[in-house]
Amino acid sequence: MIQNPILRGFHPDPSIIRVEDDYYIATSTFEWFPGVLIHHSKDLVNWRPLTYALTRSSHIQLAGTIDSGGVWAPCLSYHDGIFYLIYTDVKSRMGKFKDTHNYLVTASDIMGPWSEPIYLNSSGFDPSLFHDEDGRKWLLNMRWDHRQGNHPFGGILLQEYSVEEGKLIGPVRNIFEGTASGLTEGPHVYKRDGYYYLLTAEGGTRYDHQVTMARSRNLEGPYEIDPENPILTSSGKPELTLQKAGHADLVETQSGEWYMVHLVGRPVKDQLCMLGRETAIQRCYWTEDGWLRVEGDDASPKLEVQPPDLPLHPFPKEPDTDDFDAHTLGLQWNTLRIPASPDWLSLTERPGYLRLYGQESPISINRQSIVARRQQAMACEAETSVEFQPSHYPQMAGLILYYDTKDYVYLRVSRDDELGRCLNIFQSVNGTCEEIMSPEVSIAEAGACRLKVVIQRHIAQFFYAEEGSVDWTAIGPELDVSHLSDEADYIRFTGNYIGICVQDTTGTRLHADFDYFRYTELE
């Protein structure tokens, strides 16, 4: 059986395609770099991270991007030997206005290189590209309406895209204003048996999220709404493990079986989802009167799903430990807003170590020296070893749980005027940061220090071990870290990361060397 979620941890807004015998899913990456992670499967059961699409600063400029801004809802498609990827770069999102710029990149190989971006429009987010049977291509996106008294989700816009001219052409039409559920977004169009099927996400990307369907004989509408909508939702079903089901895309297998990928959330406490919005999959079928249904006929997301009639194709398991022996970071790693570049990150200056040069503070939206990976299990632990010789208290390095600039928990090596080199934990909750311990824990003036965190659902315990010690010592109390979630503050869209970082707000760019990083799932 397929076990959901198929992409665990922060992997929202999935877009899926099949190219011959290969399946690819692209997901949102927001302010993390590189942009748009693409996963690969041969059987819809086993998935592996394959590549990133937006790997250059010319693809996406994220320095200065707000929390949960950046790359939203990519759409991956394929036609006549070319991969097309459309994405939104969100520069502002709070209040009446949203600045949402939509771009297109292409590649002849899923591994790239991807082209320089073509600007499309800024009228809304969640763009997708539909390749019609006559060869014409059409951009769809939701429209944002800032006017007083108007619903801000103003329908689904349609405009033709000219490959030859490299731009949108012709009139813009609002082809669908949504259902009574509202907040209509995430459009995808499919052509089947003479109908254009319009799949949308409605109800908002929280606990009333849902997938809805409409169809028309004409791409421009009018669209007939599925009388059984929503065709997938967790709304009103608190007993389900998979919540927030919505924002979906469809794929047909080689043998004509249909599957729907969609985002979900799994709360660790109350309605708090530390792992962010994840990707799940459901088996579907078409009714005799031409509507799509999720297998099980109750429109609920299932934890276990019947796989397609395809040979199983497992991939090697990712090692728990990265010893930093490679010359480039692995696919599990992301940097925050800025690319990994030699001016602040090196895997070669001291072979076998990751060297990070300190930059701005943990609240910066510009240049932070942080390398982190997604938390992908509710029970896990992470461990590293750091060599760092701070001379002033503004110099810090260590192990961090990081959601965004407002919410993080940080075990760091620094310096106190009286204690010398020391350890303490910073916890920032909704922008209010406090030191967990007073006084700080003094450690030896030189040598490596190992740092570890163990997470059990919403509780985290930190540990340390000085050089020469094989035993771990708990530091600080057990901490409630459920604020590292989508719902803890305002609406936001990423998920908890676990990583290593260095700050030097004196501007001298003191470096720290990390010998390894181990991430182990405990469930």
Residues involved in catalysis: 13, 185
Q: Is the dihedral of CA 242, 246, 250, 251 positive or negative?
A: negative
Q: How far apart are CA 157 and CA 177, in angstroms?
A: 9
Q: Is the peptide bond prior to 319 cis by the omega test (within 30 degrees of 0)?
A: no
Q: How far apart are CA 329 and CA 341, in angstroms?
A: 11
**Cβ-contact 369, 358 below 8 angstroms:** yes
DSSP state of 485: S
Contacts of 164 (CB under 8 A, 6+ apart): none
Q: How far apart are CA 375 and CA 21, in angstroms?
A: 30
DSSP 48-73: EEEEEEE-STTT---TTPPTT-EEEE
Tokens of 470: 């094989």
3-state SS, residue 424: strand
3-state SS, residue 443: coil
**Cβ-contact 204, 212 below 8 angstroms:** no
Q: Smallest Cα–Cα separation from 294: which of 333, 254, 245, 239?
A: 245
Q: Furthest-apart CA pair in the chain: how many Å?
A: 78
DSSP 156-186: EEEEEEETTTTEEEEEEEEEE---TT---EE
Q: What are phi and psi of 450, to 5 degrees?
A: -90, 140
Q: What are phi and psi of 330, to 5 degrees?
A: -70, 170
Q: How far apart are CA 206 and CA 209, in angstroms?
A: 6
Expressed in angstroms, the distance from the first to the final Cα of the chain is: 18
Q: Smallest Cα–Cα separation from 25: which of 303, 8, 33?
A: 8
3-state SS, residue 113: coil
